[in-house]
Amino acid sequence: MQKKMLTGFRPTGKLHLGHLHGNIKNMIQNQDKYENFFFLVDWHALSTEYQDTHNIKKNLIECVIDLIALGINPEFTHLYRQSDIKAIPELTLYLSMITPMSWLERCPTYKEQIRELKAKDLSTLGFFSYPVLMAADILIVNADIVPVGEDQLPHLEITREIARRFNHLYGDYFSEPKEMLSKSTRVPGTDGRKMSKSYGNAIFLSDDRNTVKKKVRQMITDPERIRKTDPGHPRVCNVFAFYKIYRDREIESIEKRCRKGEIGCTACKDELAGIISDSLEDFQEKRARLLKDKEYVYEVLKKGSQKVNIIASNTISDVRKKMGID
């Protein structure tokens, strides 16, 4: 039987380059090898955004448009909204019965987010049990492969532990999902920190040529390089990090011309901006078309959830039997 690949995506609104070079690229490149599940996790968004929810739905639609425009093909991939699969919270409830609180308490992402997101009150049951909901997302379709960023590995480990515990208690049923890590999980933003909408350092996939050029011009290069003829140090340069993503095959000659001081930083940046914009051309055309045809987008989500609901309700009826309710 064909293996199942699944990933969940936070509906953050329009996408940026950091998203693209993370798990989305992995998903697109492997679309023809697996049965694919790609969903927008609006319930997970609620766990951190419950105080201000007015953007969740709008952001979700923008995300779906970007994903389709990028090449997530609804013919090959079930594209759906988490909150359309009502069997997920039912499975979450069953799994929560067998999940020790200590597994969640020691989860590093939990501790880190409570520390980092001080402005939000995250001392809620929903946020605490986030990994159980994520386990249900994955186990509801019995996914084999999960493309994620490194930050999600602890959650995947908890998913496997829960699956193992279920199998031990009620007999073998769930397979243990494996991660698929993307090569360039960390795309730098224009200020060198990780690219993120909330840091204000993102290049969006929808940015026009001028905007991309302006943003790339702001990037921090090698602080020791003052004149064009000074030798550069590409290893510390943000622009070079992007060349590694976009021009990996020619990376040695690009490195050389910088080290030898053959090209100035501004010219090097403008060239990169052109490369980025060229790579976004097809996407932007497709996106513009989809923006005018939102009905199609809603239809994709509806069809996606219909298919997944069939699989999900099978799982739930098996689980209910295994657990002795039915």
Q: Which amino acid is at 182?
A: S
Under the criterion CB under 6 A, does residue 134 sit at the interface with ligand TRP? yes
Contact between 138 and ligand TRP (CB under 6 A)? yes
Neighbours of 236 (CB within 10 A): 15
Q: Rounded to the nearest whole angstrom, what is the least distance from the CB of residue 155 to ligand TRP in the complex?
A: 6
Chosen residue from 61, 91, 146, 300 binding ligand TRP by CB under 6 A: 146
β-strand pairing of 145-148 with 178-181: parallel
Which residue, 112 or 208, is less far from ligand TRP as judged by CB?
112
Closest residue to bound ligand TRP by CB: 8
Question: How far, in Å, are 21, 38, 77, 232, 269 from residue 35 at the CA level?
Answer: 21, 10, 7, 46, 40
CB-wise, 68 or 148, nearer to ligand TRP? 148
Between 131 and 234, CB nearer to ligand TRP:
131
User: Which C-beta is closer to ligand TRP: that of 7 or that of 59?
Assistant: 7
Q: CB of residue 214 vs ligand TRP: minimum separation in angstroms?
A: 29
Find the binder of ligand TRP among 41, 70, 216, 301 (CB under 6 A).
41
- Residue with smaller CB distance to ligand TRP, 155 or 215: 155
Closer residue to ligand TRP (CB): 153 or 275: 153
In the chain, which ranges are continuous DSSP H helix?
Answer: 17-19, 25-29, 42-49, 56-70, 87-98, 101-105, 108-116, 125-128, 130-139, 153-170, 209-217, 238-246, 251-259, 265-291, 294-322
Among 26, 47, 92, 152, binds ligand TRP (CB under 6 A): 152
- Reduced to 3 states (helix: H, G, I; strand: E, B; else coil), residue 188 is strand
**In the set 4, 7, 80, 201, which binds ligand TRP (CB under 6 A)?**
7
Phi, psi dihedrals of residue 74, rounded to the nearest 5°: -60, -15
Closer to ligand TRP by Cβ: residue 155 or 269: 155
Please tell me whether residue 44 binds ligand TRP under the rule CB under 6 A: yes
Which DSSP string corresponds to 94-129? HHHHH--HHHHHT-HHHHHHHHH-TTS---SHHHHT
Residue carrying structure tokens 């999960």: 146
Answer yes or no whether residue 77 interacts with ligand TRP by CB under 6 A: no
Residue 40 in contact with ligand TRP, rule: CB under 6 A: no
Under the binding rule (CB under 6 A), the answer on residue 60 touching ligand TRP is no
162 part of the interface to ligand TRP, by CB under 6 A: no
First to last CA, the chain: 28
Minimum CB separation of residue 7 from ligand TRP in Å reads 5
Angle formed by the axes of helices 265-291 and 294-322, to 10°? 80
For 67, other C-beta atoms within 10 Å of its C-beta total: 24
Work out the angle between the directed axes of helices 265-291 and 209-217 (0-180°, nearest 10).
140
User: Could you tell me the smallest distance in angstroms from the CB atom of residue 47 to ligand TRP?
Assistant: 10
Q: Does 148 interact with ligand TRP (rule: CB under 6 A)?
A: yes
CB 270 within 8 A of CB 206: no
Judged by the rule CB under 6 A, the positions of this chain that interact with ligand TRP are: 6-8, 10, 41, 44, 134, 137-138, 146, 148, 152, 155
